[in-house]
Chains A and B, each alone.
Chain A
Amino acid sequence: MHPAPSVIAFTTLSGAGFGLLFWLGLGLPDVTGWVAFAFFAVAYALAAGGLMASTFHLGHPERAWKAFSQWRSSWLSREGVASVAALVVMGVYGAGLVLFDTRLALLGGAGAALALATVFTTSMIYAQLRSVPRWQTPLTPALFLALSLAGGALLAGQITTAMALLLVAGLLQGMWWKRGDGAFAASGTDMATATGLGGIGQVRAFAPPHTGGNYLLREFVFVVGRKHAAKLRIIALALGFALPLVLLALPFSHAAAALAALSHLAGIAVSRWLFFAEAEHVVGLYYGAR
């Protein structure tokens, strides 16, 4: 799949942002006034900024509001509804903390649940696609939720929780990669079923429909960068999980915590790039590209 920078930025930043909102909703850390304002500003910049970035890849961003209508069937629509609900509820809850030094615990709990629901809907957009075997697994929502909770805890300054969640998320990341590498072969979709000609013999793509490229090849048959996948996985693991764990294990300082958060986000962005670049769409079979 083509790794669109807007979608990578969106899923990385908003994942961490909604993770931070989750912990703020639970009152971790229990802050009010200007300190609360600073935490909420970071969370909204990441969550809402990510959502804005995701509209950049639309053909018609001015019609984006129509995407709230199909929540009965579409995970993308559900994501839109959940994200706006989470931002509104957490906005009211944040206003209570910042302006009135009052923690509306029930509202915070609801906002935390909505923030997690948003991350879950994002992950299901990918996990629902049978056409991309690497994504179609319950491990995808598990990984997205673990990364969001770990990144959020890191930003919320919950050191011990963050360390535990980073370990869990790193483990899930490894499992997701391991399963993903065999997912296409295990899916049962190959040249024989794609063309229906497997009963006759070995099928080989002889000539493509056109000499030039097309939307399908650009969007789904992305192959650049796979040769560096192993190196990029190590970079993602080192920046996303190992370095933040080391920095958190050191005696606490704000500089180390900030560096841990930045390193984590950079690592997750690399992992998210691989999430798209390594994903094989079955339509590539028709072009003999699998």
Chain B
Amino acid sequence: MTTLPASTNRKMGLVIDLDTCVGCHACVVSCKGWNTENYGAPLSDQDPYGADPTGTFLNRVHSYEVQPLATSAMPHPAAQLVHFPKSCLHCEDAPCVTVCPTGASYKRVEDGIVLVNETDCIGCGLCAWACPYGAREMDAAEGVMKKCTLCVDRIYNDNLPEEDRVPACVRTCPAGARHFGDLGDPDSDVSRLVADRGGMDLMPEQGTKPVNKYLPPRPRDTLDEVDILAPLLAPVAEEPKGFLGWLDRTLERL
């Protein structure tokens, strides 16, 4: 049924630290790898070695340049480069779910994960139209809608070692910029992280109530002494003294 549950027992989701992400795209690669080899239709590529390669991805990393406004204290502030991973936000009020005509899209009551039942999907694409974040992509080979499953086939998988029971993107992130947990529990690690760092929603005005949160980048440090070698490079003696001073003055007079 594509009506949304009134509430979910847990709100499993991701917290993405924009201060820490280095933009390496390892999460993109591990996501594509895991989700091609496991649950559901593989994430296909079209013309992968040709002139115009495209493909299905559940996670993409954008990069934005943010130019702070000039102030009297900081007349020429440096622009900040922010790497910005984006995948399904598993919204509480997910517009993609309610538009589905077949019941293929649903939000789970037990953990809030938004999934697509691929055997019911007719590939009409309306859920991708309804999503403001571009989280859903139609697979061109399979003709069904693909989206982030929060690695539902990893996080409850008893066959995996316990440290691997997190989404592939979280497990692979070399910078520790991605965190996984229950955002419905105010005492969970991820909830405390969101509270401490001022975690934010994307496009809050769209009314989707995303579960995933983003931690804003911290302001860049401003150092008083920019060049730490400068003191060592100053001239040792401005004016020669002693014998060299006498020699210098004498030679000047000649």
Q: Which residues of A contact B202 (CB under 8 A)?
A: 193-196
Taking A73-B2, A195-B84, A283-B133 as contacts, is the C-beta distance between A59 and B65 under 8 angstroms? Answer: no
Q: Does B181 contact A (CB under 8 A)?
A: no
* Cβ of A228 under 8 Å from chain B: no
**Contact of A73 with B98 in the complex, beta carbons under 8 Å:** yes
Q: Which chain B residue shows the least CB distance to A54?
A: B124
Given A75, A205, A215, which contacts B62 in the complex, CB threshold below 8 Å?
A: A205
B145 CB, nearest partner CB in chain A, Å:
8
Q: Pick out which of these stretches binds chain B: A97-105, A122-130, A244-252.
A: A122-130
Within 8 A of B (CB), among A185-229: 187-189, 193-197, 199-210, 212-216, 219-220
CB distance from A98 to the nearest CB of B (A): 33
Select one of A212, A220, A281 contacting B54, CB under 8 A. Answer: A212
Residue in B3, B62, B124, B132 whose CB lies within 8 Å of A207: B62
C-alpha spacing A73/B206, complex, angstroms: 19
A207–B67 Cα distance when bound, in Å, is 15
Docked complex Cα distance between A86 and B54 (Å): 42
Given contacts A59-B142, A59-B143, A286-B134, contact A128 B99 (CB under 8 A): yes
Task: Tell me which residues across on chain A come within 8 A of B155, comparing CB atoms.
Answer: none
Cβ contact within 8 Å between B2 and A74 = yes
Q: Closest CB-CB distance, A81 to chain B, in whole Å?
A: 10
Q: Interface size on A (CB < 8 Å)?
A: 58
Q: A74-B99, A131-B132 are in contact. Are A59 and B137 (CB under 8 A)?
A: no
Partner-contacting stretch, out of A15-23, A60-68, A262-270: A60-68
Report if A178 contacts B (CB, 8 A): no
Q: How far is the CB of A3 from chain B (nearest CB, A)?
A: 13
User: How many Å lie between the Cα of A187 and that of B132 in the bound state?
Assistant: 12
B42 at the interface (CB under 8 A from A): no
For chain A, residues 102 to 146, give those with C-beta under 8 angstroms from any C-beta of chain B.
Answer: 125, 128-132
Whose C-beta in chain B lies nearest to the C-beta of A215? B137
Q: How far is the CB of A134 from chain B (nearest CB, A)?
A: 13
Tell me, in angstroms, the Cα distance from A247 to B192 when the chains sit together: 71
Which residue, B134, B144, B204, has most C-beta atoms of chain A within 10 A? B134
Chain B 83-95 against A: per-residue CB contact (8 Å), 1 yes, 0 no? 0101000000001
Instruction: Answer yes or no: B53 CB below 8 A from chain A CBs.
Output: yes
Nearest-neighbour CB distance to chain B for A26, whole angstroms, equals 30
A231 within 8 A of B: no
Write the nearest CB–CB distance from B189 to chain A, whole angstroms. 21
Q: What string of 1s and 0s marks CB contacts (under 8 Å) between B55-73 and chain A?
A: 1110011111111110000
Residue of B nearest to A76 (CB): B101
Q: Is B122 among interface residues, defined by CB-CB distance under 8 A?
A: yes
Asked if A69 contacts B103 (CB within 8 A), the reply is yes
B2 partner residues in chain A, CB cutoff 8 A: 70, 72-74
With A214-B57, A281-B129, A283-B132 as contacts: A60 and B122 at CB distance below 8 Å:
yes
Q: Which of B63, B102, B204 contacts A69 (CB 8 A)?
A: B102
Structural contact, A131 and B144, CB atoms closer than 8 A? no
CB <8 Å contact, A130 and B137: no
Contact present for A77 and B95 (CB under 8 Å): no
Contact of B66 among A73, A194, A203 (CB under 8 A): A203
What 0/1 pattern do residues 199 to 216 of B give for CB contact below 8 A with A? 011111111000000101
Give complex CA distance A72, B103 in Å: 11
Task: State whether the Cβ of B184 lies closer than 8 Å to any Cβ in chain A.
Answer: no
Name B69's closest neighbour in chain A (CB-CB): A201
Task: Please determine whether B123 and A58 come into contact, CB atoms closer than 8 angstroms.
Answer: yes
Cross-chain pairs A/B with CB under 8 angstroms, 19 sampled = A1-B129, A59-B121, A64-B122, A66-B102, A129-B130, A130-B95, A189-B203, A193-B205, A195-B64, A199-B216, A201-B67, A201-B79, A204-B64, A206-B64, A210-B60, A212-B53, A214-B57, A219-B138, A282-B132
With A70-B103, A76-B100, A219-B138 given, can you name 5 additional A-B contacts, CB distance below 8 Å? A129-B129, A193-B202, A205-B62, A209-B60, A282-B132
